Amino acid sequence: MLTYLSIGLGMVALIAFMVKCNKQRSVGGVFIKNIASIFFLFTTATAIFYNQDFWKYGVLILIGGIFGMLGDIYLDQKWIYPEHNDNYLNAGFVSFGIGHFFYIGAIFLHLGFGVKDLLVPIIAGVVVAVFTLVTEKPTKCHFGKFKAIVTVYCLIIGTMTGTALWGMIQTGFSVQYIVFVVAAALFLLSDIILSSMYFGTKNTPVNFVLNHASYYFAQFMIAFTVFLIK
């Protein structure tokens, strides 16, 4: 019950944030956004309590979510303190990247994956990184001095997506890993939109909503896998 309540309250906080900050960022709006992030962490925590047999998986997901929240906080600071834009943007990339490593670790731990299981995830990571670089000009993005960290981040999130995909295949398309794969796809969508906002010319209200909706749905879905995991 608490898990579902947490998801519901998180969605309410997310909607309140998007309504308040769709046209102009504010400190108050960022505070509401952080409340939404706290709720996806609380969702994970309640799911761990419910599904205690898989607490190790849950703790890794929780730590990944904490780094995701920190990454979000760093990215918000770049709007409030634009003079430190580069530092906050780099910190955001690093925090999100670390969070994805914990998500990868959770899947490897749960399914007992070894070195041989890295093949599909790494291939997926390379594909995502290469695709991002190849489509930089066609999508009118300009990574500039951030190209290196963008490439590394794309490799990491692509690997996380590939790990979830491999987990889904290895478990015979189990519900929890279908949810994880959909969440990973939403993460990718969120980052594609964010890239067009930060490095392109599409910082529009529609993209603002789509970016945050896809990101938070991804985080809540990954948190919910702790409830579903078997």
pLDDT at 24: 65
pLDDT digits (tens, 9 = 90+) for 181-197: 999 999 999 999 988 88
Instruction: Report domain extents, the chain.
Output: 2-228
Asked whether the CA dihedral 228, 65, 90, 193 is positive or negative, the reply is positive
Could you tell me the sign of the dihedral formed by the alpha carbons of 167, 66, 91, 219, in that order?
A: positive
pLDDT band at 22 (very low <50, low <70, confident <90, very high): low
* Count of residues in the chain: 230
Query: Residue 149: is it exposed, middle or buried by C-beta count within 10 angstroms (0-12/13-18/19+)?
Result: middle
Say what the pLDDT of residue 26 is.
Answer: 64
- Dist CA 44 CA 65 (whole Å): 9
Alpha carbons 176 and 43: distance in angstroms, whole number: 15
pLDDT digits (tens, 9 = 90+) for 53-70: 999 999 999 999 999 999
State pLDDT tens for residues 73-132: 898 887 777 778 889 999 999 999 999 999 999 999 999 999 999 999 999 999 999 999
Residue 153 phi, psi (nearest 5): -65, -45
User: Residues 195-227: pLDDT tens digits?
Assistant: 888 887 777 888 888 999 999 999 999 999 999
pLDDT at 25 over 70: no
